[in-house]
Amino acid sequence: MALTDTFNRRINYLRLSVTDRCNMRCLYCMPAEGVQDVGHDAVLSYEELQLIAESAVGLGIEKIRITGGEPTVRAGIVDFLAKLAAIPGLRHLALTTNGLLLEQMASDLYRAGVQRLNVSLDSLDPQAFREITRGGDLAKVLAGLDAAVAAGFPPPKINIVIMRGINDAEILDFAELTRSRGNSVRFIEYMPAVKDDGWQRLCFPGEEVLQRIREQYPLEAVDKGTFAGPSQDYRLPGATGSIGIITAVSGHFCSDCNRIRVTSRGQAKGCLFSDETTDLNPFLRPPDPERLTKVLQEIVQAKPEGHAIRRGEYTHSNFSMAQIGG
Ligand code: SAM
Ligand code: SF4
């Protein structure tokens, strides 16, 4: 059954966060001291997350991405993923990770039935990486990428949050990975989750990323698949991986939006940049699958046509991507 919203967009994708916690502290995502500890009870149990996933798939969601915080730091994640993978009707199960624990977990994740990994990686320079992530070890992430391929995964997609003056000098190095390692790389525009003064100075439009690459190489456009979501994809000649831009701030993004989000505390969102959230806890504690399905359907129907960052009518409250899951 196809699930569509009132703007005739096909909604087939759920981003499900399993934790707010993380073993890194990326500058653009969370404060140096980490997110506030919410206590064990506020975080949904795996049974509750499973019920949300089953209800969403029953409605027409075909792809689930597990995210966080850092999903690999939550105890029991591999068993949970194996249960998700077994949901009838779920066609794609993916995981987004910072890759720090991937070297030791890749085989288990593959055996659990995860089909694709996205790894966030914002610099190929160890020192810059350490600064952006406030302490992350690049060598571990690179070892994790290799371990994923050795375990049987296709080369993970690499997500780079591109920030002016911080990592824009590495655009061509990242583009080169699509040839040398076969990874697809996607440049994500920095989103002002926390509205620090002068956030605009970090913004680096996706079109400018393409322009930098085109100064050096020809780029051909690539067709998007059913689950591609809001990236525009290109390819260098002879590359097996693609290059994508996600123009969340500057460009076409909302018209292709295919997703809803649920946080690890059970807050559902139809739009990342809207303050509208729906608390799913009343339908989980105690579990009421019928009302849960109905409310998820309402969230899809209430998805706004788009956000207004570019138009300057930017009114959402501060939030941490680690709480929402990116
Ligand atoms: N910890 C995992 C990771 O880093 O991949 C999963 C969670 S993280 C919140 C999901 C994605 O959100 C990452 O690719 C991250 O780069 C992106 N993200 C976080 N804050 C962002 C921001 N302010 N602007 C753009 N992307 C952001
Ligand atoms: Fe952690 Fe991912 Fe946020 Fe970085 S982007 S702080 S790795 S949750």
pLDDT digits (tens, 9 = 90+) for 280-324: 999 999 999 999 999 999 988 888 777 655 545 555 555 566 776
Copy the structure tokens of residue 26.
Answer: 């990326």
Q: Name the nearest CA neighbour of 63 among 14, 98, 112, 29.
A: 14
Q: Is 60 exceeded by the pLDDT of residue 70?
A: yes
Q: What is the pLDDT of residues 228-286, one digit of tens each?
A: 667 889 999 999 999 999 987 776 567 778 889 999 999 999 887 777 899 999 999 99
pTM recorded for the entire structure: 0.92
Ligand 2 pocket test: which of 101, 163, 321 has the largest number of ligand atoms within 8 Å of its C-beta? 321
- How far CA 285 is from CA of 18, 39, 76, 131, 281, in Å, comes to 17, 17, 21, 41, 6
Alpha carbon of 96 to ligand 2 centroid (Å): 10
**Band (100; pLDDT cuts 50, 70, 90):** very high
The predicted structure's pLDDT at residue 120: 98
Q: What's the whole-number mean pLDDT along residues 43-50?
A: 97
Domain boundaries, the chain: 13-324
Phi/psi for 26 (5° steps) reads -55, 140
Q: What is the pLDDT of residues 50-59, one digit of tens each?
A: 999 999 999 9
Q: 24 with 130: CB under 8 angstroms? A: no
Count of C-beta atoms within a 10 Å radius of residue 92: 16
Residues constituting the chain: 326
Say how far apart CA 162 and CA 160 lie, in whole Å. Answer: 6
CATH topology of domain 13-324: TIM Barrel (3.20.20)
Q: β-strands 13-17, 259-262: how paired? A: parallel
Task: Indicate if ligand 1 lies below 6 Å from the C-beta of 263.
Answer: no
Give ligand 2 pocket residues (Cβ under 6 A). 22, 24-26, 29-30, 68-70, 98, 120, 321-322
Preceding amide of 289 cis, omega within 30: no
Q: 184 with 241: CB under 8 angstroms? A: yes
Instruction: Give me the residue label for tokens 């109905």.
Output: 294
Task: Indicate if ligand 1 lies below 6 Å from the C-beta of 204.
Answer: no
Angle at 232 between CA 230 and CA 237, to 5 degrees: 150
Closest atom of ligand 1 to CA, residue 119:
5
Q: What is the pLDDT of residues 120-134, one digit of tens each?
A: 999 999 999 999 999
